[in-house]
Amino acid sequence: MMNFFSDDTRRNPYPAYDQIRGHSPVLHEPNADLWMVFDYEGAKRVLHDHESFSSVIAPPTAQTSQWLVFSDPPRHTKLRALIMRAFTSWAVAGLESRIRELSHALLAPTLEQGELDLVADFSVPLPLMVISEVLGAPIEDLPRFRRWSDMILTLSSTTSGGEEAERAHREFRAVTTEMAASLHGLIEQRRATPKDDLLTRLVEAEVDGERLTEEEILGFFQLLLVAGHETSTNLISNAVLCLIDNPDQLARLRAAPELLPSAIEEVLRYRSPVQAMWRVTRREVPLHGQLIPSGKMVMPMIGAANRDPRKFQDANRFDITRDPNPHIAFGHGIHFCIGAPLARLEARIALSALLERMADFELVSEEPWQPRQALHVHGPTHLPIRFKPGLRTPS
């Protein structure tokens, strides 16, 4: 059995995806008793067929059971409607100028040096700053946000159980207690003095006379902190990797900056920030000639689905003008990522700032980059790059 979780495979899982998809698009991994789905149509079905594949993968007593992404209708319907009242496209669009300010402020100290760690200096702090902004949390909370996010991410390594999993769950419970106390204080402040921020809108959101409980707001905060931060971080970092690896496409983008939104969609497909999700079968499910038993953990392999040659012509080629590009990097169906507009906005502004301020960039080292901590995501932990300062100044 191939080791999907080795650093080498996680840096470049795509040859393994191609090999397995071609042999059997549904694979049972016996050690963890996981069923992995590698083709586009199969993965898409697992993501959207909530009658057959449940998103409730944790017991009701677990804090993660409060997360929107791990709920089924009708509870999911209620939670999503309430959160959407607060997390509107209008609210996200209103962040554009502030994200641009933050992007240029983060890059400014590095411009004279001609070198930076893209991840540590830019693509990690930027989404954390944005989350701090939308919640109206003080900037002093950023180190805690980073620590909380890193701790929650370790839960992705607990599917096979054991002592490490027990430790991760204990630490997560401790972090949840700390986050709940911090959030309670912020919520009380918003109830006393409402502000124009996401947290106030979450507190005030109401559908059919129902409002979010404090525990539900905490669940969304944890999800936003982890998924929102990690997805945007890896999208920005992976975009730079793609452009460095494909200088013809970088030149094309510099010549036609209006292609940036299309380029971002291709990064989402080609190096999907989230490589897999989790579901549990509600009943026996036949799929590609195999029968997945009831109550089994299923992983739709999003990163593999987005390179399926039966759906994408020349699937292993990075093409910033690809059209159509029906990738499923943000999921599909009722669980389509609620933060997708924010991730796209952050990536567009961040990459615009990089292209404006850097006339050229390249990797500092030829050493293989270290993958991010969470097993289900794709992107580097560090990415030192050197560059020449660009001629354009921010508008």
The residues carrying an active-site annotation are: 227, 230, 232, 337, 346
Q: Is there a contact between 234 and 379 (Cβ–Cβ < 8 Å)?
A: yes
Q: Is there a contact between 168 and 39 (Cβ–Cβ < 8 Å)?
A: no
The bridge status of strand 297-300 relative to strand 34-37 is: parallel
CA dist list (Å): 382 to 67, 102, 153, 280, 308: 29, 20, 17, 34, 29
Question: Which amino acid, one-letter code, is at 123?
Answer: S
User: If you search the block for the tokens 């959101």, which residue do you land on?
Assistant: 205
How many Cα atoms sit within 13 Å of 301 on the Cβ side? 23
Q: Under DSSP, is residue 385 helix (H, G, I), strand (E, B) or coil?
A: strand
Q: DSSP assignment, residue 121?
A: I
Q: What are phi and psi of 205, to 5 degrees?
A: -60, 135
Q: Is there a contact between 287 and 45 (Cβ–Cβ < 8 Å)?
A: yes
Question: Which amino acid, one-letter code, is at 161?
Answer: G
Q: What's the CA gap between 17 and 9, in Å, rounded?
A: 10
Q: What's the CA gap between 205 and 211, in Å, rounded?
A: 6
The strand pairing partners of 285, in sequence order, are: 292
Q: What's the CA gap between 388 and 361, in Å, rounded?
A: 7
Terminal CA-CA length for the chain? 53
Buried b (16+ CB within 10 A) or exposed e, 225-241: bbbbbbbbbbbbbbbbb
User: If you search the block for the tokens 């109830």, which residue do you land on?
Assistant: 191
The tokens for 97 are: 């100028």
Q: What are phi and psi of 310, to 5 degrees?
A: -75, -15
CA dist list (Å): 219 to 145, 226, 230, 302, 377: 14, 11, 16, 24, 20
Q: Which residues contact 62 (CB under 8 A, 6 or more apart)?
A: none
